[in-house]
Amino acid sequence: MATNGGFLDRIARTPLVFDGAMGTMIYERGVFINACYDELCLTKPELILTIHQEYVEAGADVIESNTFGANRMKLAASGLADKVEAITRAGVRLARRAAGDEVLVAASVGPCLDADKPHDPHLADEMAQAFGEQLAVIAGEGADLVVLETFAKLAELQIAAKVAAALGLTVLASFTVRPEHGQMMGLEPETFAAQQLQADGNVHAIGMNCGTGPAGYIERLARVLAVATKPVVVMPNAGGPRELGGRMLYLNSPEYFTEYAKRYVEMGARGVGGCCGTTPQHIRMAARAIKTLSGVKRHVTVASRGSDDAKAAALASKALATRDKGRFAAKLCSGQTVTSVEILPPRTGAALGSFLDNCRQCAEAGVDAVNIPDGPRATARISVLSSALAVLQQTGIEPIPHYCCRDRNLIGMQSDILGGYAMGLGNWLFITGDPPKLGDYPDATGVFDLDAVGLTQLVHGLNHGYDAAGLPVDPPTGILIGVGANPVAVEMKRELDRFRAKIDAGAEYAMTQPVFDVDALLAFCDEAAKHPRPIPILAGLYPLVSFRNADFMNNHVPGVVVPKPILDRMSRCKTKADGIEAGMEIAREIRRALAGRVAGFQVSAPFGRIDVALKVLAD
């Protein structure tokens, strides 16, 4: 058994990553579907062991044994009903051999009946005996838990859970919801199932698996989380078909899967894995992303004050007021509307001249600042600090370098911030940053010593005369601390809690992700304003250029939601020029609707089109 805690203890401490599909991997290795995949534990044990090892190497915290169909009623179809004990025992032992001391082993147990067969109460005793035979072997082999998965009939799932619990097993009961399932007792099927499993004393954790791709589980998970206090685990298929431009596309890439895996955890799921179609590549990306999420990774602790109380008080007295931290800060504090244009740093020095020309255009148009992303979407560009210093020294407009936690450890972050401030960079936006798997270097290591809250706390300390260790910084820095906000987050309570935590840590203003839903932003602002020390919020605007651009933003850019009316509006554009004009007008309409309700606007320059961004800000 794993030596670092049992399943329930582990999943209570941190969300766990389960492995992906076994059947998909077996089929990819050349085993036809007319074979009994469970019997391969006996006939091709090295194949099964290798698949388990690939999931362990990918970063799975829990791997499932290849015993899904190893009950007497299912094995009978292959003439193997007398092999239940041998197959199950071999399956659990192979998983244990691959797992080592750190990874948990979940014994997989599937239903006795095929999904298309109705539940027959007269078979209850036979099913209980079949489950009992298989589960007794699992209990004897010391599996860390049993996953009862892909059950389409709640009654059968509860029979299996009762047998497993009686044997002393920890039970994760996972059901699947198919499109043909109607309402039960006036409830959505997943809500009804979750309520029943929540009340079932034989069940220790609730799961959903198979049946649909990642997108199909968002609303279902929200309904389950609303009624469940037991840990919830989600294991979707890799992806399903989606119509795009008249074509049916299967969105099943590891990147697509991972974006939803992150969202499940942010919503409150305690475990994420994959079902049909998922592979070690899917799990590797998901594991890396999930394990760097705030609330999952354990970040470095930052000192909350100086180590010497008297000296700390003296240094803190030198702290600059927000209004004294530059032109942008003064205008922000005066209540005037501030503006900024987001411009990507160049990839090479040869493009630096055009980058600076774009910044000069913004200055000439009366824009207050340019904000410069830090390795957006985990790509490599000229250093954000180098780019910001060039803007500061050569264009006359105030730069706002974004600074993310992904690429640097605590020492490097402090050095960059102190050095940048010494060179004149006084206005920064501090963010956690996209995990490396999103970009061109998926095998790069994401550091994440801190998240955005911790980084804000660190800079607040520097502004008051002490560093991350509580050592004095004399004179203190005078950095205007900006942070990000997402007014359309999937789990709004969590986003608001994090936003309030950023304010408590010392944030002085915020910029949002691109906003296309005015009502959602206003609702977010109303809730944020309830904080005892509310901070100004700049609304992010993104002028769309085409329907394809809008669809990509909606489906693949974290934190961005494009409502259907806007998607429909963009889909009616016949030419490129029509798309650009419609996108600018939509952004202008959003700006006008928000005028007076937000402190200002930051506008993205789509595909480097500075002229488009400036037209959005023009009256």
Residues 282 and 317 in one domain: no
Lowest-confidence region among 28-42, 221-235, 483-497:
483-497
In a domain? residue 506: no
Residue 492: inside a domain: no
Please give the structure tokens belonging to residue 36.
């009994």
Residue 136 contacts residue 88 (beta carbons within 8 Å): no
CATH number at residue 230: 3.20.20.330
Q: Which residues constitute the domain of residue 569?
A: 309-479+543-617
Q: What ranges make up the beta strands (E) of 289-434?
A: 338-342, 369-372, 398-404, 427-431
Percent of the chain with pLDDT over 70: 91
Residues composing the chain: 619
Residue 369: band (very low, low, confident or very high) from pLDDT cuts 50, 70, 90: very high
Q: Could you say which of 290, 322, 353 is where a domain stops?
A: 290
In a domain, 343, yes or no: yes
Within-domain flag for 88? yes
Q: Other C-beta atoms within 10 Å of 452: how many? A: 24
Q: Count CB atoms within 10 A of the CB of residue 251.
A: 19
Q: Is 29 a domain residue?
A: yes
Is residue 256 located within the same domain as residue 388? no
406 in the same domain as 285: no
Instruction: Tell me the H-state helices in 33-123.
Output: 40-43, 45-58, 72-75, 84-99
Q: How confident is the model at residue 89 (pLDDT cuts 50, 70, 90)?
A: very high
Q: What is the pLDDT of residues 61-76, one digit of tens each?
A: 999 999 999 999 999 9
> For residue 90, what are its two tokens?
């071999």
pLDDT, residue 244, reads 52
Q: Which of 285-299, 356-370, 491-505, 542-556 has the lowest mean pLDDT?
A: 285-299
Residues 400 and 460 in one domain: yes
Whole-number pLDDT of residue 433: 79
CATH, residue 314: 3.20.20.220
CA distances from 583 to 73, 520, 565, 616 (A): 59, 19, 13, 9
Asked whether residue 487 is assigned to any structural domain, the reply reads: no
Q: What is the pLDDT of residues 294-347, one digit of tens each?
A: 556 566 778 777 767 777 788 888 999 999 999 999 999 999 999 999 999 998
List pLDDT tens digits, range 148-188. Answer: 999 999 999 999 999 999 999 999 999 997 655 555 555 78
Instruction: Answer whether the bond into residue 373 is a cis peptide, omega within 30°.
Output: no
Residues 540-584 have pLDDT tens digits of: 999 999 999 999 888 777 678 899 999 999 999 999 999 999 999
